[in-house]
Amino acid sequence: MMSHQTMLEIDQVFLESIDQSFDGFVLSDLRGKIFYANKAVEKISGVPTSEIVGKTTKDMEEDGIIISQSMKILKKDPLTISQKLRTGIEVFITSKPVYDEDGEIICYVANYHRFSRIDDLYREHHNQVDINYTELQQLRLQMLKTDEWIGVSFETKKLKEKVAKVAKTEANILIIGESGVGKEVVSKTIHKVSDRRDFPFIQINCGAIPETLMEAELFGHEKGAFTGALSAKPGLLEAADKGTVLLDEIGEIPLHLQVKLLRVIQTREVTRVGGTKPRKLDIRFLAATNRDLKQMVQEGGFREDLYYRLNVIPIKIPPLRDRKEDIPVLCRHFLEKYNKKYVVDKRLTTSASRLLSEYAWPGNVRQLENTMEQLVILTEDPEIDVRDLPRELLKNQADDYFPDEIIPLPDLREQTEKRMIRLALDRYKTIREAARHLGVDHSTLVKKIKKYGM
């Protein structure tokens, strides 16, 4: 058994190790009050630890040290978010609870990473890595800095890692995902970081071209090939020579054309409609779909040989509801985009931001972007609040109050109380003001906040 002095020495070594770590560590109690921050937090954030220790995340937000999202950190599940500080520095914060031997939460630990730290590490170790690793890092940095591919969730980071590995290859890629998840963005990123980036990127929407015109549009035609063909015309595949082709909504292509497309992919040759001479092509093929092609193969709606020819490397993009950490970042991105476009300065309240983050977004990123543009255009006040949000988002929240299953009335009352208190604390600057709008005494609200661990 270790002596008391030995245990104290180990504790001291542990604290010194944490304090000298390159990563930032913050510990907070059950009420969210920070009682420890190591030196790296000050170095990463540019904010003195004296302004951090002893404050709650809400205090820090009110003092302008951090900007929005702060109350999302205190949850039972591990969570990663991005956080912008008043210094202009953006950090990634990974927060999780710490449990004792009985499974009770005793405090929360948050790990800080500065976004630009990735660049710093790359520069510091540039001369110590081999050429393959260097190229991979460059690809990752290119994708992290793209204006189009926004996201900080674990799922998005994992997806970017996979794209970085396959972008430099010539392998055919099948991109799978629901409508609106960003299949086009991923395909453009693959092209931009590939060796073909200086050549055309041609996107062909197989579901938008009429079936009667699709063959001529894809493969081109010779003069006189059909009525109205007054001159020869190259097809979209020829236009993509030396570049990349995205066959979007590939599941919509008719069966009789799938045979011809398969031959083009296999031989890298195309023969125009009405022609006899094949033309050599140098193309990288990407395909995208929101349909289950494997199921279509079983049902006879899609050729098995074409499916396996396209599906050399599958990339599945998860829906937005499965990567909710991306929603606040996307909201800020689209808000800035449309503020600039319409020359306004709209901003989201904390309550509106939380509701947007909790919504399921069946239309994924496309629906989110359309919603943010609508809010920027239609909201008259500088602040976009809950009352300004589209009705379907509010209906979603109303359904949460009235679950389909039967639950005990005391539990329902407690859930409603907690939600109302949380909304009031987010909307109003002081507990006293929140209590007044909730119709209770200040002391009553303080007791309930303690009761619910808020």
C-alpha 163/C-alpha 186 separation (Å) is 8
CA dihedral 333, 336, 339, 341 (to 10 degrees): -80
- The 10s digit of each residue's pLDDT in 115-131 is 554 444 444 444 443 43
Pairing of the two strands 313-316 and 24-28: unpaired
**Spatial separation of the C-alpha atoms in residues 179 and 15, rounded to whole Å:** 49
pLDDT value of position 88:
64
Would the pLDDT of 10 be above 60? no
Phi, psi of 223 (to 5 degrees): -60, 130
Q: What digits encode the pLDDT tens for the residues 45-67?
A: 777 888 888 888 777 776 666 65
- Beta carbons of 222 and 229 less than 8 angstroms apart: yes
% residues pLDDT > 90 (the chain): 36
Asked whether the predicted pLDDT for residue 392 surpasses 90, the reply is no
- For 399-454, what is each residue's pLDDT tens digit? 444 455 666 777 767 777 887 887 777 777 688 888 888 888 888 888 888 887 76
Task: Give the span between the Cα atoms of 270 and 286, in whole angstroms.
Answer: 17
CA distance linking residue 172 with residue 317, whole number of Å: 17
Tell me what the pLDDT averaged over the chain comes to. Answer: 80
What's the rounded Cα separation, in Å, for the pair 4 and 6? 5
Q: 90 versus 266: which is more confidently predicted?
A: 266
Out of 117-131, 285-299, 361-375, least confident range: 117-131
Residue 117 DSSP SS3: helix
* pLDDT attached to residue 428: 73
| Percent of the chain residues topping a pLDDT of 70 | 76
Identify the residue whose tokens are 């303080």.
446
CA distance 121 to 133: 13
Categorize the per-residue pLDDT at 132 as very low, low, confident or very high, splitting at 50, 70 and 90.
very low
The pLDDT value given to residue 105:
82
CATH class of 171-316: alpha beta
Q: For the ranges 118-127, 153-162, 196-205, 355-364, which has the lowest average pLDDT? A: 118-127
Q: Range with the lowest mean pLDDT among 147-161, 163-177, 349-363? A: 147-161
Between these two residues, 23 and 355, which has the higher pLDDT value?
355
Rounded CA gap, 40 and 24, in Å?
5
Lowest mean pLDDT among 88-92, 319-323, 357-361, 414-418: 88-92
Write the DSSP assignment of 25-65 as a string of letters: EEEE-TTSBEEEE-HHHHHHHSS-GGGTTT-BHHHHHHTTS
Q: Please count the helices (runs of H) and the strands (runs of E) in the chain.
A: 19, 15
Position 104 pLDDT exceeds 60 = yes
Please state which CATH class domain 321-401 belongs to: mainly alpha
pLDDT at 64: 62
**Does the structure show a pLDDT above 80 at 333?**
yes
Alpha carbons 316 and 290: distance in angstroms, whole number:
10
Rounded to two decimals, the pTM is: 0.58
What is the pLDDT at residue 168? Answer: 87
- Check residue 96 and give its pLDDT: 78
pLDDT-based confidence at residue 332 (cuts at 50, 70, 90): very high
pLDDT for residue 109: 84
Q: Is the pLDDT of residue 1 over 60?
A: no
Which CATH superfamily does the domain covering 18-115 fall into?
PAS domain (3.30.450.20)
DSSP 233: B
pLDDT for position 261: 94
278-300 mean pLDDT: 94
